[in-house]
Amino acid sequence: MKMKIAVLPGDGIGPEIIKVALDITKVVCEKFNHDLEYNTALVGACAIDATGNPYPESTHKLCMESDAVLFGAIGSPKYDNDPTAKVRPEQGLLAMRKQLGLYANIRPVTTFPSLIYKSPLRSELIDGADFMCIRELTGGLYFGRPQGRSEDGNTAYDTCVYSKYEIERIVKLAYEYALKRRKKVTVVDKANVLATSRLWREVAKEIALEYPDVETEFLFVDNAAMRMIQWPKDFDVMVTENMFGDILTDEGSVITGSLGMLPSASIGIHTSVFEPIHGSWPQAAGKDIANPLATVLSAAMMLEYAFGLKEEALIIREAVNASLDSCYVTQDIAKDNMPYYKTSEVGKWLIDYIKNK
């Protein structure tokens, strides 16, 4: 298979973790005789420094011409600590989502047996938890208009807006994923209070009729938040609006015990983007200490969902699990009084495992 990917390392630890994920992708493609073409472009603070634009036109052009995007992280103290900055790295991420039409963020929440002790939840609650959060990414409060403040500054307002079309496409996507999994969809809303949530529930009920083999349940967001902690193994595919999804997916990351382990995919109208859920951790940049596993697992998601290469994705996940079982990991997830390894060393271990598998 011929594959063309855009590689956007971004800021902070982004270049280091992306290098590991890209090297592993190359090895897998060599092993399975795929033709991989990749090109690198700027995004975030490094793009502002070079061009004045956090998502330059040249970067967008590359993304549009590629089959998938492998993305690291963005963010820099240089801009975070400057209240007068007119352009910020995070604007690059929003621009990329908007211009690529990335309307769905997909985050698998999976526990790793050797990391269960890292979770604040009891092991019997989370052992075997495996569900997928699908968050609508381009609507709701974050993009609704009008928004602003009163002239005296004492009142602020945001508007939550959703159209039927926006809800239909994200809910249908959730059902399609459920068909490939355990055939259960949980629609999360606040229909007892919000008009937009009532529209969400109305549309979801219509779509549920098209998928009679899939179990459907509706939960208010507060109840869903509690159940994620009480019975995380009860979920299969969860779908919800933008802000609820933002909060619930971060809650879900706690179940695994480490932000450094969770990949994600942003699916859209044009090219899909695959990235770890964590930030750029600028304090660690260049120190070769960042955990690359979430980015490596994002590369596995890219192979599976962008190219349909399930076996290739599986061998990457097997390698990650083997590194965890062997305790060949970075400091953040190393067990007490056990040795830990550099980012590049973990990458080499994973590559050797895949080559010898």
Active site positions, annotated: 142, 190, 222, 246, 250
Q: Which position has the token pair 């807006």?
A: 161
In one-letter notation, the amino acid at residue 181 is R
Query: 6-41: b or e for each residue (b if 16 or more CB lie within 10 Å)?
Result: bbbbbbbbbbbbbbbbbbbbebbbeeeebeeebeeb
Give the C-alpha distances (Å, rounded to integers) separating 157 from 141, 147, 193, 334, 347.
10, 5, 17, 45, 47
Q: What are the phi and psi torsion angles at 20 (to 5°)?
A: -60, -50
Structure tokens that stand for 80 in this block: 């975070």
Report d(CA 177, CA 242) in Å as an integer.
18
Structure tokens that stand for 269 in this block: 């109208």
The beta-strand segments (E) located in 243-310 are 263-268, 272-276
100, 90, 18, 93: which is closest to 67 by C-alpha?
Answer: 100
Q: What are the phi and psi torsion angles at 286 (to 5°)?
A: 80, 0
